[in-house]
Amino acid sequence: MHLDHDHPGPGAASADAHRPDGSRRALRIGLGGPVGSGKTATVAALCRALCEELSLAVVTNDIYTREDAEFLLREAVLPPERITAVETGACPHTAIRDDISANLEAVEDLEDAVGPLDLVLVESGGDNLTATFSRGLVDSQIFVIDVAGGDDIPRKGGPGVTTADLLVVNKTDLAPYVGSDLARMAADAKEQRIELPVVFQSLRSESGVAEVAAWVRGQLAAWTA
């Protein structure tokens, strides 16, 4: 059991940056956030945006199924051997924060099987605003919320909104239909996060995941520097 409720902030590396053979392991980025906010869709778009330039793999977490992994396999965003599902069987945050052993094993097995890898994306099962990843599992984390979940979510705060290395406010295309005030969401997010970055995106728009992909490239540059 690995207990880690301590989040030292962006750029803080998790333990063991090297593999047993001394080579640098892949950068691990976690994606968390409420149910249905667009985590899997963001993972899929990131794979499509980055797979030509990077060696990458994905670990998904679902409570009782492998649906997110099956979606990514159906969409063929990566070759099948680069996508692994962890069935958590309990609250999603347990597997990404409290007992990270199944996820660590999945990440390490992927590196052994298809490595060397530059990047592993770990998607948490959809959870509430308090869910964050252990720094023993991921090096940085993206918290994905969406405009349809209510434009008061950034104001409500919680560790995902306030401490994630990147906050993504997804589905901006839906804002006019659900009456969400994007300017208010941006102001509230700024107040909660001060200097930490926030990206507003619509995966239905032409620019799609481009800004998040650029952020990932920046994280990777810092990791390999």
Ligand X SMILES: Nc1nc2c(ncn2[C@@H]2O[C@H](COP(=O)(O)OP(=O)(O)OP(=O)(O)O)[C@@H](O)[C@H]2O)c(=O)[nH]1
Interior/surface letters 39-65, b for 16+ CB within 10 angstroms, e for the rest:
bbbbbbbbbbbbeeebbbbbbbbbeee
Q: How far is the CB of 174 from ligand X (least distance, A)?
A: 5
Say whether 37 counts as a known binding-site residue: yes
Say whether 208 counts as a known binding-site residue: no
Q: Determine, following the binding rule CB under 6 A, whether residue 178 of this chain makes contact with ligand X.
A: no
- In SS3 terms, 128-184 reads as CCCCCCCCCCCCEEEEEEEHHHCCCHHHHCCHHHHHCCEEEEECHHHHHHHCCCHHH
Q: Determine, following the binding rule CB under 5 A, whether residue 68 of this chain makes contact with Mg ion.
A: yes
Kindly tell me which residue out of 7, 82, 171, 193 binds ligand X, with binding defined by CB under 6 A. 171
Q: How many residues bind ligand X (CB under 6 A)?
A: 16
Minimal CB distance residue for ligand X = 126
Determine the interface stretch with ligand X among 158-166, 180-188, 202-210, 215-223 (rule: CB under 6 A): 202-210
Beta carbons within 10 angstroms of residue 125's beta carbon: 25
Q: Determine, following the binding rule CB under 5 A, whether residue 127 of this chain makes contact with Mg ion.
A: no
Say whether 35 counts as a known binding-site residue: yes
Q: Rounded to whole angstroms, how far apart are CA atoms 105 and 8?
A: 23
Say whether 207 counts as a known binding-site residue: no
Provide the binding-site residues for Mg ion, judged by CB under 5 A. 39-40, 68
